[in-house]
């Protein structure tokens, strides 16, 4: 129990809370308008002036509820406790005060564990103290239990949304790490190839020099080693800050742009047509492997999700600065947007891979039919 309480107390704020927005300002305006209308249309409202003024004074707290969840709850429930007691009257009986429930929701959705505990303490103190002080007599148990039920339901919804958002963020991070791992594996294979070539060339040059006494083979070997080392350094720059688990490296060479042609032809689902236009030679292996992986994932998604599609077209265009990839299908028009994320979060991984190389990747419905995936990668790759 102690460990559970300590974990709740030390829980950090969840990520993703945005700063106050125009929607929040509109919410404050709407709450203030409802308060004024209620004050005008309810002449039988007890302590009407005090109730309206108190409620109006609290509505700006809605604007800051995500940025300062604990402070807004503390201020609101302190005011709702102290003002009626100081005035010697009844608690404000305004329907507009229901907007204050949003403060409790924000506290449990966006607050840290410490902030949630402190904020809920203010709520509990207000409820208990008013039960003791209420000059009109203690609130009926039915009303008290009803209020507790509303607060419990609100808290459950807030915690459920918070948990679901946290799970989604962790899944996104997992996908990104897996994509970084795959890219690191591809680059590892490329670097290992170049280093092996350097070692073999050096050994051959030294062996020829030892047998013939001619230093020319050794000099030629040094030139080849220099070129290979430059390629290795270029690829190593892309590996900076990437993660990789301790798994056995794959023995097959990493695929490149030329291997995209292997995606063509019939298969499960629509047939695939591949076109490669422009200069795609001399592309760094890391970039070529990324283009292949993006095309492969896009084709897989199209075959899985494109309803009524008969053809998938893969187009790769090369120019002196960039490689452009476009994958389109002729599936049914997208009336309801096709799920942007497959169960494996494929498109998120594609965007992450492109981003790691300094490029972009996007997906969306076509102008007339089907789905379009486009990617733009710098020809030289990303430099650290």
Both tokens of 284, joined, read 């760094």
107-164: per-residue pLDDT in tens? 999 888 899 999 999 988 888 876 676 555 545 555 666 667 778 888 888 888 888 8
219-277: per-residue pLDDT in tens? 677 777 767 776 666 666 555 544 444 444 444 556 888 889 888 866 677 889 999 99
pTM: predicted TM-score of the whole model, two decimal places: 0.52
Helix axes 141-212, 285-305, angle to 10 degrees: 140
Give the whole-number percent of the chain exceeding pLDDT 70: 79
24-76: per-residue pLDDT in tens? 999 999 999 999 998 888 888 878 888 888 999 999 999 999 989 999 999 99
Q: Are 360 and 354 in contact (CB under 8 A)?
A: yes
Q: What is the rounded CA–CA span in Å between residue 277 and residue 323?
A: 10
How many C-beta atoms surround the C-beta of residue 125 within 10 A? 13
């Amino acid at each position: 129990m102690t460990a559970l309480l300590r974990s709740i107390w030390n829980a950090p704020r969840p990520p993703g809370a945005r700063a106050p927005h125009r929607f929040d300002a509109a919410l404050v305006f709407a709450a203030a308008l409802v308060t004024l209308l209620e004050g005008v249309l309810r002449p039988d409202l007890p302590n009407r002036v005090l109730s309206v003024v108190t409620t109006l004074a609290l509505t700006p707290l809605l604007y800051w509820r995500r940025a300062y969840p604990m402070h807004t709850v503390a201020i609101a429930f302190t005011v709702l406790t102290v003002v009626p007691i100081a005035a010697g009257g009844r608690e404000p009986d305004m329907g507009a005060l229901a907007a204050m429930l949003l403060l409790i929701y924000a506290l449990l959705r966006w607050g840290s564990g410490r902030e949630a505990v402190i904020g809920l303490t203010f709520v509990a103190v207000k409820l208990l103290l008013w039960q003791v002080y209420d000059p009109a007599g203690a609130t009926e148990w039915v009303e008290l239990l009803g209020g507790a039920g509303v607060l419990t339901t609100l808290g459950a919804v807030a915690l459920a949304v918070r948990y679901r958002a946290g799970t989604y963020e962790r899944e996104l991070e997992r996908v990104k790490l897996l994509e970084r791992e795959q890219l690191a594996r591809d680059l590892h294979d490329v670097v290992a190839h170049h280093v092996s070539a350097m070692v073999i060339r050096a050994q051959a040059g030294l062996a020829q020099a030892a047998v013939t006494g001619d230093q020319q083979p050794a000099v030629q070997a040094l030139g080849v080693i220099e070129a290979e080392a430059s390629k290795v350094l270029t690829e190593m720059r892309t590996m900076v800050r990437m993660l990789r688990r301790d798994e056995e490296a794959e023995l097959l060479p990493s695929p490149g742009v030329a291997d995209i042609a292997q995606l063509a032809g019939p298969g499960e689902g629509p047939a695939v047509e591949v076109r490669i236009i422009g200069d795609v030679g001399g592309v760094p292996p890391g970039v070529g492997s990324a283009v292949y992986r993006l095309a492969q994932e896009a084709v897989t998604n199209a075959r899985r999700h494109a309803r009524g599609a008969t053809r998938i077209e893969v187009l790769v265009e090369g120019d002196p600065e960039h490689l452009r990839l476009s994958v389109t299908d002729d599936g049914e028009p997208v009336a309801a947007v096709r799920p942007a994320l497959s169960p494996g979060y494929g498109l998120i991984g594609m965007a992450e891979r492109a981003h790691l190389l300094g490029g972009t990747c996007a997906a969306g419905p076509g102008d007339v039919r089907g789905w379009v995936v486009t990617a733009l990668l710098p020809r030289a790759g990303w430099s650290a």
